[in-house]
Amino acid sequence: MRKIVKPCGLHCIRINHLGVTIGEQQILSDVNLHIHCGTLTVLIGRNGAGKSTLIRAILNDIPHTGSIEFKDRENGHIQKLKIGYVPQNLNIEKSTPVSVYDMIASYQSNRPVFLYKSKKLYQEIKESLKMFEAEHLIDKQVCNLSGGELQRVLLSMAVMDEPNLLLLDEPVSGIDQNGMELFYRNIEYLKENFDLAVLLISHDLDYVRKYADHVVLIDGKVLTQGTPKEVYDSDAFKQVFTDMEVRG
Amino acid sequence: MIEFFTAWWSYGFMRNAFIAILIITPLFGILGTMIVNNKMAFFSDALGHSALTGIALGVVMGVADTTLSMIIFAVIFALLLNYISSKASASRDTIISVFSSACIAVGLAILSKGGNFSKYSSLLVGDVLSISKKEIIYLILIFAATLIFWGVAFNKLNAVSLHRALAKSRGIRVKLIENIFAIFIALIVMLSIKWIGILIINALLILPAAASRNISVNMREYHLFSVIFSLFSGLLGLMISYFTNVATGPMIVIVAAIIYFATYVYGRRNA
């Protein structure tokens, strides 16, 4: 991935009036977001608030209403949005013979991984893994990676084809405190050094307060959004999260 | 003594069976890898069972070649299963089980009408010795088609298997790939079911790949061992069955099962 000195801050992703209805049930309605390159936007909310649904709608994995635009702010030119995605976990069982190379090569190229290992691609993948201190994992089986290792591998893969928008689903389990700190530092490194915007679902409010530039609290719709301080001080925030504590 | 071991080659049916096994078993070894990775063992099993219904429908409609009705039915059945399991809220296992048992019941009901089922009972166990030259040509064609599909689309298939939404976000046409794979499984199972038999065809698809998983760490090893195990079980099973006068299909599966248990023990020791 091409490194730049500073994100230009001129690219903007606009999500306009996005809504998702599955069957009879309306899961999200009228979601409006502006996401700028070089910033970390974090989605928070209780379980079942529609955070993952929003990510899947942006990925175009589920049908939705409304529009998603990617604009160059200077000349208003609309470009094709390239999305990198880091899922929470993979659909992989124990002892599945898929190495990290096999996985990344499968997504990145058409050179059949069951036949041979492409030296050029192997080097490219290694370079990308190096960015997140994961190059030693390249020949390991994906199913044997720890939660933190898998996250770093998936992150390396997501940035390989220079996305404009990086969507991340923060892992809930399998990562210790050090791993979490590293994860957030990696994201900070990405947004400061590359020309991309990051949208993250998070469950850890302390890290969000420390690292987020923009926080969006959702529950079927956008309840409130702003800087971490603005959101954390809002009534909606207190209502959602004190309710959760009382019930929990 | 040497003559005792080479005499089988002088029989035309043994030569054909030998060639058929050289084609079918590597094919099963290759396909099996992704059937196991995608947790589709139950799916391919149900497909095998649909053969009975396909033949029964052919008989009812008065089709001269029931192989054709069997293949068409299996392809429709495979696509239908894919479609319904993507839509329905019940688990995939349950849906496949429902369709599979319904297929067996309809097939058995029609074929046993008038007490004639014994005519079709060879389908259950299969008979690799009855394979003809023309049928071998069909097998070669499907073998070539599968290799092309694997060469062109294997990476995409693997990507879909690991994470559908992630694959989709990379521009992979997830449903198309899944459907083509299902059609390939249907075609291969139907073209080889007469030789292997409905009861054990699934074992031959699953066992070599499952054994290979016990000892492989990447896709290249996975494919290599799966093909070797499949081919070895096929050839050894054929020879043993010739000398002991036991049906070939079951003998092949027994060899494959022994390999599975051996690799299981070996894999655990080295884990």
Cβ atoms of B122 and B111 within 8 Å: the answer is no
Contact list, A105 vs chain B (CB under 8 Å)? 155
Backbone angles phi, psi at B113, to 5 degrees: -60, 130
Is A179 found in the same domain as A153?
Answer: no
Backbone angles phi, psi at A18, to 5 degrees: -75, 135
Cβ atoms of B217 and A97 within 8 Å: the answer is yes
CATH number of the domain residue B226 falls in: 1.10.3470.10
Give start and end residues of each alpha helix (H) in B88-132: 92-111, 122-125
Domain ranges, residue A108: 92-161
B147 has a chain A CB within 8 A of its CB: no
Copy the structure tokens of residue A93. 């069982």
Q: What is the model's pLDDT at position B68? A: 86
Is A170 found in the same domain as A152?
Answer: no
B72 CB-contact burial (10 Å; exposed 0-12 / middle 13-18 / buried 19+): middle
The last residue of one of the domains, among A141, A161, A181, is A161
Question: Closest Cα of chain A to B118: distance in Å?
Answer: 42
Does A155 fall in a domain? yes
CB pairs under 8 A between A and B: 94
Is A69 found in the same domain as A99?
Answer: no
Q: Which amino acid is at A200?
A: L
Is B161 within 8 Å of A91 when comparing Cβ atoms? yes
Q: Are strands A11-22 and A165-169 parallel, antiparallel or unpaired?
A: unpaired
Is A156 found in the same domain as A176?
Answer: no
Q: Which residue of B has its CA nearest to A23?
A: B87
Element of type H or E holding A216: strand A214-218
Copy the structure tokens of residue B266. 């070996």
Phi-psi region of B171 (alpha: psi -120 to 50; beta: other; left: phi over 0): left
Element of type H or E holding A28: strand A25-36
Q: What is the model's pLDDT at position A248? A: 41
Count of the separate structural domains present in chain B: 1
Is B39 within 8 Å of A90 when comparing Cβ atoms? no
Contact list, B222 vs chain A (CB under 8 Å)? 97, 114
Q: What is the model's pLDDT at position B261? A: 95
Is A125 found in the same domain as A109?
Answer: yes
Low-confidence stretches of chain A (pLDDT < 70) are: 1-10, 72-79, 171-174, 243-248
CA atoms within 13 A on the CB side of A96: 22
Contact list, A117 vs chain B (CB under 8 Å)? 220
Give start and end residues of each alpha helix (H) in chain A: 51-58, 100-108, 119-130, 147-159, 177-193, 205-211, 228-233, 235-247
Q: What is the model's pLDDT at position A184? A: 87
Is A11 found in the same domain as A48?
Answer: yes
Is B220 within 8 Å of A114 when comparing Cβ atoms? yes
Cβ atoms of B149 and A114 within 8 Å: the answer is no
Does A34 fall in a domain? yes
CATH number of the domain residue A33 falls in: 3.40.50.300
Does A73 fall in a domain? yes
A234 CB-contact burial (10 Å; exposed 0-12 / middle 13-18 / buried 19+): middle
Is B169 within 8 Å of A115 when comparing Cβ atoms? no
Q: What is the model's pLDDT at position B75? A: 93
Count of the separate structural domains present in chain A: 2
Residues A128, A132, A137, A143, CA torsion sign: negative
Does A87 fall in a domain? no
Q: Cα–Cα distance between B36 and B30 in angstroms, integer?
A: 11
A87 has a chain B CB within 8 A of its CB: yes
Chain A 33-52, residues with CB within 8 Å of chain B CB atoms: none
Q: Which amino acid is at A162?
A: E
Q: What is the model's pLDDT at position B154? A: 93
What number of other Cβ atoms are within 10 A of residue B101's Cβ? 12
Entry pTM: 0.86
Q: What is the model's pLDDT at position A171? A: 67
Q: What is the model's pLDDT at position A140? A: 92
Q: What is the model's pLDDT at position A173? A: 64
Q: Measure CB to CB from residue B169 to each of A85, A105, A114 and give the nearest one.
A: A85
The closest of B236, B242, B14 to B130, measured between CA atoms, is B14
B40 has a chain A CB within 8 A of its CB: no
Domain ranges, residue B101: 2-270
CA atoms within 13 A on the CB side of B78: 26
Is A236 found in the same domain as A223?
Answer: yes
Low-confidence stretches of chain B (pLDDT < 50) are: none
The closest of A25, A15, A27, A32 to A224, measured between CA atoms, is A32
Q: How far is CA A82 from CA A39, A85, A152, A232, B169, in A?
A: 16, 10, 20, 31, 9
Is A77 found in the same domain as A167?
Answer: yes
The last residue of one of the domains, among A108, A138, A161, is A161
Q: Cα–Cα distance between A39 and A62 in angstroms, integer?
A: 26
Q: Is this complex scored with an ipTM above 0.90?
A: no
User: Would you say how long chain B is, in residues?
Assistant: 271
Residues B214, B215, B218, B223, CA torsion sign: negative
